[in-house]
């Protein structure tokens, strides 16, 4: 065993790189659960001694839990609890139905309303929860209008990924970036919300134009949508009021972080704990996406081993060498590489690998140099998820449910529109990054 550890320590960069690449391949392959891949990779990293498993004064800097970002873990778990409890009341469905009624059943307005609602909801809830909430409403509205739901579903899934880009809690890559860079909720709002709104306006307008011939219904059917009965949608008024207040206070806590300096994850934990007082913990905790949480844990350990071995520093130095230190070139490479790769592989492991690399560049070149790099990563990683059917979890959920409902969306059909939307999003982001930070 001692000989093994000696051999590993002498070839730590190579071995940790192999573990990371193999984990990426199996995560992209999707034949084995990604949480299993991450935990196996994490276990192998620890077994080989790339990170210490015993905490002593000598091993403190390389102790494996030092590389698990618990800010990310606690924020994710807490928001999952809050959203699950709040959604049980029916409050989100009630709100979506009210918006639907305002459209008077006009198909083009219905598509715009549901797409924009999805984008806004995805900025505060996770994308998967948002599309799960909006899909039944979409199917019901399209049945009343007697039109194909695919244009609506495609618009919603694109807007869920774009809308999630706008805030710290909207998409897991942003949570990773926020924790690594020390950005607050309001930093994301200030830096990204404006460009995200522009992208949504352009994308939704484009989709309405593309699908204009399919977005037609009779006046009688449109009237049915405008008169949807929403009186019994909220199944628990006390829960709706309670969870609504807590959710608003949690968001307020995020917004006022620059004043209170209370960590985002702590605000979310307090909110989750307050709501749990009125619930049975065993029933709530079973709804937490533990697969996602343990995927993060395993992933952080794998990347921690790679970082500890010096792999991240090598990547950072290579990127600076290729771009000859140019801030503009480095920003554009990160934006476009993130956008393209996130359409092919899971954007969470990609972001988890890139974040410490940009952190290393920040150490070498300073915070001012690294500032646009962080936002390039956030925009590329989140927006790139629209490229393919497997680019984001929300894409998979929507396409699977559409198939079950008798409206199959093929990989190539999704790709045809996904490439257009992603390219438009990245071009707008390119102009934004350049004009905002690089001139």
pLDDT band at 31 (very low <50, low <70, confident <90, very high): confident
pLDDT band at 407 (very low <50, low <70, confident <90, very high): very high
Q: Are 52 and 63 in contact (CB under 8 A)?
A: yes
- Give residue 337's Cα distance to chain centre: 17
**Residue written as token pair 């715009």:** 112
Candidate from 129-138, 153-162, 196-205, 245-254 with smallest mean pLDDT: 129-138
- For residue 249, what are the contacts with CB-CB under 8 A and spacing of at least 6? 271
pLDDT band at 206 (very low <50, low <70, confident <90, very high): very high
Instruction: Note the pLDDT of residue 7.
Output: 85
Q: What is the spatial distance between Cα 395 and Cα 143, in angstroms, rounded to a whole number?
A: 22
Tell me the average pLDDT across 163-183.
93
**Residue 128, domain extent:** 2-67+91-233+289-438
- List, in sequence order, every residue forming a beta bridge with 52; answer none if it has no partner: 63
- Residue 79 domain-assigned (yes or no): no
343 pLDDT more than 90: no
- Residue 22 domain-assigned (yes or no): yes
Arithmetic mean of pLDDT over the chain: 91
Q: What is the spatial distance between Cα 214 and Cα 326, in angstroms, rounded to a whole number?
A: 47
* CA distance readout (Å), 301 to 50, 64, 178, 198: 9, 6, 19, 37
- Residue 194 domain-assigned (yes or no): yes
Residue 377's nearest CA partner among 174, 155, 213 is 174
| The two structure tokens encoding residue 23 | 């984990």
- For residue 245, what are the contacts with CB-CB under 8 A and spacing of at least 6? none
250 pLDDT more than 80: yes
| The two structure tokens encoding residue 267 | 């605000």
Instruction: Note the pLDDT of residue 29.
Output: 80
- Residue 317 domain-assigned (yes or no): yes
Number of alpha carbons in the 13 Å side-chain half-sphere of residue 279 = 22
pLDDT band at 1 (very low <50, low <70, confident <90, very high): low
356 pLDDT more than 80: yes
Q: Are 310 and 385 in contact (CB under 8 A)?
A: no
Q: What is the spatial distance between Cα 301 and Cα 296, in angstroms, rounded to a whole number?
A: 9
- Residue 78 domain-assigned (yes or no): no
Q: Are 231 and 190 in contact (CB under 8 A)?
A: no
pLDDT band at 228 (very low <50, low <70, confident <90, very high): confident
Tell me the average pLDDT across 46-52.
91
Backbone angles phi, psi at 419, to 5 degrees: -65, -45
365 pLDDT more than 70: yes
Tell me the average pLDDT across 95-119.
92
pLDDT band at 100 (very low <50, low <70, confident <90, very high): confident
DSSP state letter for 1: -
pLDDT band at 28 (very low <50, low <70, confident <90, very high): confident
- Residue 100 domain-assigned (yes or no): yes
Question: What is the maximum alpha-carbon separation in the chain?
Answer: 79
Tell me the average pLDDT across 54-74.
82
- Residue 222 domain-assigned (yes or no): yes
- Highest mean pLDDT out of 210-214, 227-231, 287-291: 210-214
Instruction: Note the pLDDT of residue 58.
Output: 66
Candidate from 60-64, 111-115, 329-333, 371-375 with smallest mean pLDDT: 60-64
Candidate from 52-61, 256-265, 423-432 with smallest mean pLDDT: 52-61
Tell me the average pLDDT across 261-288.
93
Tell me the average pLDDT across 200-207.
97
| The two structure tokens encoding residue 408 | 């199959």
- Give residue 292's Cα distance to chain centre: 12
Number of domains within the chain: 1
What is the CB neighbour count within 10 angstroms for residue 111?
26
Tell me the average pLDDT across 408-423.
93
Tell me the average pLDDT across 204-211.
96
- Residue 277 domain-assigned (yes or no): no
Instruction: Note the pLDDT of residue 139.
Output: 92
Instruction: Note the pLDDT of residue 19.
Output: 94
Instruction: Note the pLDDT of residue 128.
Output: 81
Tell me the average pLDDT across 410-424.
94
């Amino acid at each position: 065993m001692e000989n093994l550890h000696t051999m590993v320590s002498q070839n730590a960069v190579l071995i940790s790189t192999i573990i990371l690449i193999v984990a990426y391949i199996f995560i992209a392959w999707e034949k084995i659960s990604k949480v299993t891949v991450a935990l196996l990779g994490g276990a192998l990293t620890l077994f080989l001694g790339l990170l210490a498993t015993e905490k002593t004064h000598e091993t403190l800097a390389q102790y494996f839990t030092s590389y698990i970002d618990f800010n990310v873990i606690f924020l994710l778990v807490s928001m999952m609890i809050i959203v699950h409890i709040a959604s049980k009341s029916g409050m989100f469905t009630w709100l979506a139905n009210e918006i639907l009624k305002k459209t008077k059943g006009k198909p083009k307005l219905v598509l715009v309303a549901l797409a924009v609602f999805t984008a806004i909801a995805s900025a505060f809830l996770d994308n998967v929860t948002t599309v799960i909430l909006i899909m039944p409403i979409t199917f019901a509205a399209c049945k009343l209008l007697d039109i194909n739901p695919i244009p609506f579903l495609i618009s919603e899934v694109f807007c869920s990924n774009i809308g999630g880009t706008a805030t710290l809690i909207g998409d897991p890559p942003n949570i990773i970036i926020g924790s690594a860079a020390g950005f607050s909720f309001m930093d994301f709002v200030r830096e990204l919300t404006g460009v995200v709104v522009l992208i949504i306006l352009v994308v939704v307008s484009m989709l309405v134009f593309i699908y204009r011939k399919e977005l037609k219904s009779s006046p009688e059917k449109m009237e049915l949508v405008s008169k949807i009965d929403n009186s019994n949608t909220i199944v628990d008024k006390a829960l709706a009021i309670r969870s609504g207040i807590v959710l608003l206070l949690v968001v307020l806590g995020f917004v006022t972080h620059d004043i209170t300096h209370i960590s985002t994850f702590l605000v979310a934990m307090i909110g989750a704990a307050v709501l749990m007082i009125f619930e049975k913990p065993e029933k709530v905790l079973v709804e937490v996406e533990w697969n996602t949480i343990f995927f993060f844990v395993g992933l952080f350990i794998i990347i921690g081993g790679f970082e500890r071995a010096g792999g991240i520093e090598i990547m950072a130095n290579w990127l600076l060498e290729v771009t000859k230190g140019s801030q503009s070139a480095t920003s554009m490479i990160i934006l476009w590489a993130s956008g393209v790769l996130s359409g092919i592989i899971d954007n969470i492991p990609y972001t988890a690998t890139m974040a410490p690399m940009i952190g290393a560049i920040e150490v070498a070149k300073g915070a001012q140099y690294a500032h646009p790099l962080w936002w390039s990563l956030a925009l590329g990683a989140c927006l790139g998820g629209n490229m393919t059917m497997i680019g984001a979890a929300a894409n998979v959920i929507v396409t699977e449910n559409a198939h079950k409902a008798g409206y199959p969306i093929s990989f190539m059909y999704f790709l045809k529109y996904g490439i257009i939307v992603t390219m438009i999003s990245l071009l707008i982001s390119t102009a934004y990054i350049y004009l905002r930070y690089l001139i």
